Amino acid sequence: MRDTFKAIVLEEHEGAVTSSLRSLAVDALPEGDVLVAVAYSDLNYKDGLAITGRNKVVRSYPMVPGIDFAGTIEESRSPAWKPGDRVVLTGWGVGERHWGGFAQLARVKSEWLVPVPSSYSLRDAAAVGTAGVTAMMCVMALEAHGLKPADGKDVLVTGATGGVGSMAVALLASLGYRVVASTGRAEAHDYLTALGAHEIVERSLLSGPGKPLDTARWGGAVDTVGGDTLAGVLRTMAYGGSVAACGNAGGIPFTTTILPFILRGVNLLGIDSLPVPGETRRQIWARLERDLPRDALDRIARREATLAETLEVAQQIVEGGVQGRVVINVNE
């Protein structure tokens, strides 16, 4: 058993957040009944906000960021897990109020963990991570509100080149939906087409000014951007369509009118992947293993970074400059 491990540590001094790669004592880890040898974490938008200090997502300092990770159980006081079990963690405020995955070790509550699907490597599980879980939750919410591939309707994904957006495009396409991807990145058309997008629309088409109701186009939508983009999505929804809203990369203000709701029966479904109960998580991971094509996962998670490179990639993600997922190899 090692005495020390490497981790990214965030500290705050007079409102400014600093991040450094440190060697920490195992005894410094927070409370929890399982100790996980982390193999891979990954970079989410929230990690970018935490590391750059751009938005207050971290509740207490010092904090080890990383809102999800995959690894193997090293020690367990829980009957649910034994050393060597392969586990993945997403959500529960890890990396925000409990030390997270940008570290070689993590001590957490056993009930926060789920088994890594048998056909996935630890790298695959981290690559899917919070983005995959959230995208799958969006798809399941749309299905629960009646969306079916057989309807043949266009399903919109905004922020399509991002982590959640890429996963949503690939999942919806593999399920047989006609996916329209909205992106601000003209150079990403080949990438989105390879994930299964039938059509690509320029981000500004949705985020610009518009009438309270515009031409009805989308039978369903996954929105990862929020702000003006969400307003644009709502006014262009087809009658009875649902929007699974999970993100705010484009801002938190919400300015729309009541008309999409009362004149087109649009449903706005809020998605939060943080507090999902264990059994539902297992169902989500089973669906991911079944519905997310392997070649799409490989395409989405091509990029890998080390712990030492996390500040650089964190800055890129908050500036909207990361395509797909960046997997963090914590042992490199």
For residue 93, give the DSSP letter. T
- Binders of ligand NDP: how many residues, by CB under 6 A? 32
- Tokens representing residue 73 in the block: 């159980």
Site for ligand NDP (CB under 6 A): which residue of 41, 224, 236, 242? 224
- Tokens representing residue 5 in the block: 């491990």
The minimum distance between CB 47 and ligand NDP, in angstroms, equals: 8
- Could you give the string, one character per residue 97-116, with x where binding to ligand NDP holds by CB under 6 A and - elsewhere? --------------------
273 touches ligand NDP (CB under 6 A): yes
272 touches ligand NDP (CB under 6 A): yes
Type of residue numbered 242: S
The minimum distance between CB 320 and ligand NDP, in angstroms, equals: 3
The minimum distance between CB 200 and ligand NDP, in angstroms, equals: 9
The minimum distance between CB 118 and ligand NDP, in angstroms, equals: 25
Give 147's contacts (C-beta < 8 A, 6+ positions apart).
Answer: 153, 155, 177, 219, 220, 241, 242
The minimum distance between CB 213 and ligand NDP, in angstroms, equals: 22
Site for ligand NDP (CB under 6 A): which residue of 19, 76, 134, 242? 134
Whether the Cβ atoms of residue 171 and residue 136 lie closer than 8 Å to each other: yes
The minimum distance between CB 273 and ligand NDP, in angstroms, equals: 3
- Residue 71 or 95: which CB sits closer to ligand NDP? 95
- Residue 28 or 201: which CB sits closer to ligand NDP? 201
Single out the residue of 4, 5, 9 nearest to residue 310, CA to CA: 9
58 touches ligand NDP (CB under 6 A): no
Type of residue numbered 282: R
Q: Spell 23-33 as b/e; 16+ CB within 10 A means b.
A: ebebebbeebb
Among the listed ranges 20-28, 81-89, 153-161, 301-309, the one in contact with ligand NDP (CB under 6 A) is: 153-161
Site for ligand NDP (CB under 6 A): which residue of 322, 327, 328, 330? 322
Among the listed ranges 20-28, 114-122, 224-232, 260-268, the one in contact with ligand NDP (CB under 6 A) is: 224-232
Q: What string of DSSP letters covers 162-221? A: SHHHHHHHHHHHHTT-EEEEEES-GGGHHHHHHHT-SEEEETHHHHS---SS----EEEE
Single out the residue of 170, 176, 84, 98 nearest to residue 127, CA to CA: 170
- Tokens representing residue 246 in the block: 């999970």
- Tokens representing residue 259 in the block: 């008309």
| Phi, psi (deg, nearest 5) at residue 303 | -90, 140
Query: Which residues 13-52 are close enough to bind ligand NDP by CB under 6 A?
Result: 44-46
| Phi, psi (deg, nearest 5) at residue 91 | 85, -155
The minimum distance between CB 43 and ligand NDP, in angstroms, equals: 8
93 touches ligand NDP (CB under 6 A): no
131 touches ligand NDP (CB under 6 A): yes
Q: Which helix (H) or strand (E) holds 40?
A: strand 34-43
- Residue 150 or 186: which CB sits closer to ligand NDP? 186
Site for ligand NDP (CB under 6 A): which residue of 41, 161, 236, 310? 161
Site of interaction with ligand NDP (CB under 6 A): 44-46, 130-131, 134, 159-165, 183-185, 203, 224-225, 229, 246-250, 271-274, 317, 320, 322
